[in-house]
Amino acid sequence: MSVLTLKHVNKYYKVAGNQPFQALKDVTVSFDKGELVAIIGESGSGKSTLMNLIGGLDSDFDGEILFNGQNLGTFKEADFVKYHKENVGFVFQSFNLISHLNLLDNVTMAMTLANTSKEERIKRAKEVLSDMGLSDHIYKKPDQISGGQKQRVAIARALVNDPDIIIADEPTGALDAETTEQVLEIITDIAKRGKLVVMVTHSAQVAGHCSRIVSIDNGSIVDDKRNSEPLIHEEVKSSQPAVGNKNLSFFSAIRLALLNMKEKLSRNLLVAVGSSIGIMSVILMLALGNGVKTYINDTMNSFVNPLVTEVRMPADTQGEEAGSDDQTSLEAMQRQQQMEMQSMLTADAPFQTENLDELAALPNVKSLEKGYSLLSFGANRVAYDENESMILTFATVSSNLNESNLTAGNWPEAGQIMLSQSVADELAEDSMIGRTVTLTLTLGEQVVSREFDVSGIFGSDSDAMSGMSAAYVTFEDLNDWYQAENMTLEPNVVFLLAETADDTESIKNKVKDMGYQGSAQEAMTNMFNEMLDVLTYVLAAVAGISLVVSAIMILVVLNISVVERTKEIGILKALGARKKDIRRIFVSEAFLIGLFSGVIGIAFAFGLGYGINQFSLNVFDVPIIQIANENIVMGLAISVVISMLASFLPSQRAAGLDPVESLRRE
């Protein structure tokens, strides 16, 4: 049986706007192994068209092309891939070596695409290259060797997978007489070893060497002349293990991408640096949010005792009506806000005895301390001599207040008052400790005054809280005062002391579950944290817009890469690369760009963060940029994902390229 048989093959090229052009007309011919066939004919007669069809690069034809009895017309992509990997090898007039790969990598490419083991690959390629007399050059790039050497490399590449058919389209067209002779000798040897060699040539000298000359004119075979019997001397059986159905491995794809990127190093670096800026900004914004939040929480927490849980009665529940359906959500929100403001500025609801009992009975609660606190503008004040200071917070002292924040004097006892730094500053230039001040409060409906001795100053200048004007007396004093005015003081805040600081969290949660509120400060901190989170994400999202720019940049660069590598893609397809493999090579490239830009972005973020922190340490005493580990991971992931997304279109385009057209590209 013939290796290759063509039956009534017609080939039409679609020409825009015109009748299809018929390039091959009813071609019927068959070839045997060991034949060295010269295809001759004028330019444009259809020789290359014929080569592309029998090489399986072009599957659009009428008629039958049978390889060992299998019809190429019925082949699917996988069948063509197998055909290219195992059965045909190509040699082109313009060599078509991949310029950024060395000779060894060029020759092993077909095996790389078949995922042959590395040792096997290199062993086999070295064998074939040494057969071609190229042992000394295997690490050179194609542009470092002569034309004759290039063609020998191309032949080595075609032979390395031990195919049945070698298709050579004017293999000596670009060579001088001497190297033509060498290459012809090699090709003749191939036929002698039992392969079918089909070679297009213009040269009578070359055709004279062949065992058979097929003349083609205007798409038809016009002459078919045998000079000799097939050349088989010895049929060399392949020592190669079957290539199997393995494919390009991820590792190889990454390596190929790396080799290509090295070729265009400065361009790829620029893109990576460019897109790293987006990643850096996002990481820095998140780190800034993180730093500010940590700072605020630390500051807030430094004022409270870690053993203490502050409890307040739930806010007034007239809100039921606010939830009814006939109100717009805007109105409901406004009302809600109003209520929140009110509850912040006036005293909270008082605790009833059963509330106190219930809270004291909670597990891990060592003791319960009653307190009273009031936030107000204007009404409450402390006077000394001619001077007066408004107080925003009036409260009874409790274990909730951290004694470490006492900057001067002592904790207040009976008849004493503790003032915040800002209040003390307003009342006198020098120390207020030991002096008698008049405290004026609005109790119920009446405005009443009483004298107290200043025991101490709470909060220092560098604290965030020192600006808050506040005054503190003991609960007992306030209680006496209420009784003196014929009123009863009901605690509106309760402090639960835990056995250990570890219990505080669970107590806080239980109290919340029971429907009570935590401290106003806690609520404020939470609100602040939430606002800060939103702000951080907004900032990060704004910074993230530059990621879109990165994506577009990567898309453009990969597109350029596809255009530049069109010919290489054609070569890879001729060597048996699947669409998927081509896509994988470009996606790997995008993956690497993403990885590099992520790493560069993270490095930049750390560098810039360090600088900013030096500055903020000087000014605020705290590092304001705190890069969390998850932000690093996220930055890297975003960078990789974005650039892989950006590679979708270019890699799709590369995979879809037509091998015949790609190979024709100069």
Report, in Å, the least distance between residue 543 CB and ligand ADP: 48
Kindly determine how many residues on this chain lie close enough to bind ligand ADP according to the rule CB under 6 A. Answer: 12
Q: Which part of the chain contacts Mg ion (CB under 5 A), choosing from 45-53, 319-327, 333-341, 429-437?
A: 45-53
Six-digit token pair at 74? 């019925």
Report, in Å, the least distance between residue 49 CB and ligand ADP: 3
For ligand ADP, the binding residue among 43, 74, 318, 324 (CB under 6 A) is 43
Residue 361 contact among Mg ion, ligand ADP, none, beta carbon within 5 to 8 Å by kind: none
Q: Which part of the chain contacts ligand ADP (CB under 6 A), choosing from 47-55, 227-235, 352-360, 509-517?
A: 47-55
Interaction pattern, residues 23-42, with ligand ADP; x per rule: CB under 6 A: x-----------------x-
Residue 163 contact among Mg ion, ligand ADP, none, beta carbon within 5 to 8 Å by kind: none
Is position 45 an interface residue for ligand ADP (rule: CB under 6 A)? yes
Rounded CA Rg of the chain = 43
Name which of 15 and 177 has its Cβ closer to ligand ADP: 15
Contact 164, 195 (CB under 8 A): yes
Report phi then psi at 186, rounded to 5.
-60, -45
For ligand ADP, the binding residue among 5, 48, 398, 455 (CB under 6 A) is 48
Angle at 363 between CA 359 and CA 367, to 5 degrees: 60
Six-digit token pair at 476? 């007992």
For Mg ion, the binding residue among 5, 24, 35, 48 (CB under 5 A) is 48
Smallest CA-to-CA distance from 163 within 582, 659, 574, 661 is with 574
Contact 256, 584 (CB under 8 A): no
Residue 21 contact among ligand ADP, Mg ion, none, beta carbon within 5 to 8 Å by kind: ligand ADP
Name which of 48 and 290 has its Cβ closer to Mg ion: 48
Name which of 49 and 343 has its Cβ closer to ligand ADP: 49
Return the bridge partners of 401, or none. Answer: 304
In angstroms, the CA 112 to CA 251 distance is 10
Name which of 92 and 495 has its Cβ closer to Mg ion: 92
Neighbours of 631 (CB within 10 A): 21
Report phi then psi at 400, rounded to 5.
-65, -35
Is position 49 an interface residue for ligand ADP (rule: CB under 6 A)? yes
In angstroms, the CA 524 to CA 303 distance is 14
Report phi then psi at 305, rounded to 5.
-80, 125
Report, in Å, the least distance between residue 35 CB and Mg ion: 21
Three-state DSSP at 50 gives: helix
Report, in Å, the least distance between residue 171 CB and ligand ADP: 13
Report, in Å, the least distance between residue 200 CB and Mg ion: 6
For ligand ADP, the binding residue among 47, 508, 567, 583 (CB under 6 A) is 47
Determine how β-strand 393-396 pairs with β-strand 470-473.
parallel
Residue 13 contact among ligand ADP, Mg ion, none, beta carbon within 5 to 8 Å by kind: ligand ADP
In angstroms, the CA 452 to CA 472 distance is 11
Is position 462 an interface residue for ligand ADP (rule: CB under 6 A)? no
Contact 98, 230 (CB under 8 A): no
Name which of 53 and 279 has its Cβ closer to ligand ADP: 53
Long-range pairs for 221-230: beta carbons < 8 A, 24 or more residues apart: 221/27, 221/28, 221/29, 224/29, 230/32, 230/33, 230/34, 230/35, 230/191
Contact 468, 423 (CB under 8 A): no
Residue 44 contact among ligand ADP, Mg ion, none, beta carbon within 5 to 8 Å by kind: ligand ADP
Name which of 51 and 640 has its Cβ closer to ligand ADP: 51
Is position 13 an interface residue for ligand ADP (rule: CB under 6 A)? yes
In angstroms, the CA 158 to CA 578 distance is 18
Residue 404 contact among Mg ion, ligand ADP, none, beta carbon within 5 to 8 Å by kind: none
**Would the CA dihedral through 281, 287, 291, 294 be positive or negative?**
positive
Is position 177 an interface residue for ligand ADP (rule: CB under 6 A)? no
Name which of 48 and 179 has its Cβ closer to ligand ADP: 48
Residue 305 contact among Mg ion, ligand ADP, none, beta carbon within 5 to 8 Å by kind: none
Residue 46 contact among ligand ADP, Mg ion, none, beta carbon within 5 to 8 Å by kind: ligand ADP
Name which of 46 and 598 has its Cβ closer to ligand ADP: 46
Neighbours of 320 (CB within 10 A): 7
Name which of 88 and 663 has its Cβ closer to ligand ADP: 663
Is position 44 an interface residue for ligand ADP (rule: CB under 6 A)? yes
Residue nearest to Mg ion (CB): 48
Amino acid letter for position 250: F
**Token pair 């659009």: residue:** 60
Report, in Å, the least distance between residue 44 CB and ligand ADP: 4
**Which residues 63-82 are close enough to bind Mg ion by CB under 5 A?**
none
Six-digit token pair at 402? 């951290």
Interaction pattern, residues 118-157, with ligand ADP; x per rule: CB under 6 A: ----------------------------------------
Kindly determine how many residues on this chain lie close enough to bind Mg ion according to the rule CB under 5 A. Answer: 1
Amino acid letter for position 328: T
Report, in Å, the least distance between residue 190 CB and ligand ADP: 22
Name which of 24 and 382 has its Cβ closer to ligand ADP: 24
Q: Is 418 left (phi over 0), alpha (psi -120 to 50) or beta?
A: beta
Q: Which part of the chain contacts ligand ADP (CB under 6 A), choosing from 45-53, 105-113, 152-160, 184-192?
A: 45-53
Amino acid letter for position 510: K
Determine how β-strand 308-312 pairs with β-strand 365-371.
unpaired
DSSP 566-583: HHHHHHHHHTT--HHHHH
**Which residues 489-548 are close enough to bind Mg ion by CB under 5 A?**
none
Q: Which part of the chain contacts Mg ion (CB under 5 A), choosing from 14-22, 47-55, 241-249, 322-330?
A: 47-55
In angstroms, the CA 129 to CA 322 distance is 86
Smallest CA-to-CA distance from 216 within 360, 433, 39 is with 39
Residue 508 contact among ligand ADP, Mg ion, none, beta carbon within 5 to 8 Å by kind: none
Determine how β-strand 212-217 pairs with β-strand 220-226.
antiparallel
Is position 93 an interface residue for ligand ADP (rule: CB under 6 A)? no
**Token pair 């191309």: residue:** 154
Beta strand spans in 324-411 (E)? 365-371, 373-375, 381-384, 387-390, 393-396, 406-409
Distance of CA 412 to the CA centre of its chain: 58
Three-state DSSP at 381 gives: strand
Is position 19 an interface residue for ligand ADP (rule: CB under 6 A)? no
Name which of 48 and 268 has its Cβ closer to Mg ion: 48
Is position 566 an interface residue for ligand ADP (rule: CB under 6 A)? no
Report, in Å, the least distance between residue 659 CB and ligand ADP: 12
Helices 520-564 and 265-301: crossing angle in degrees, nearest 10, is 180
Q: Which part of the chain contacts ligand ADP (CB under 6 A), choosing from 44-52, 358-366, 375-383, 589-597?
A: 44-52
Q: Which residues of the shown chain bind ligand ADP in the complex (CB under 6 A)?
A: 13, 15, 21, 23, 41, 43-49
Q: Which residues of the shown chain bind Mg ion in the complex (CB under 5 A)?
A: 48
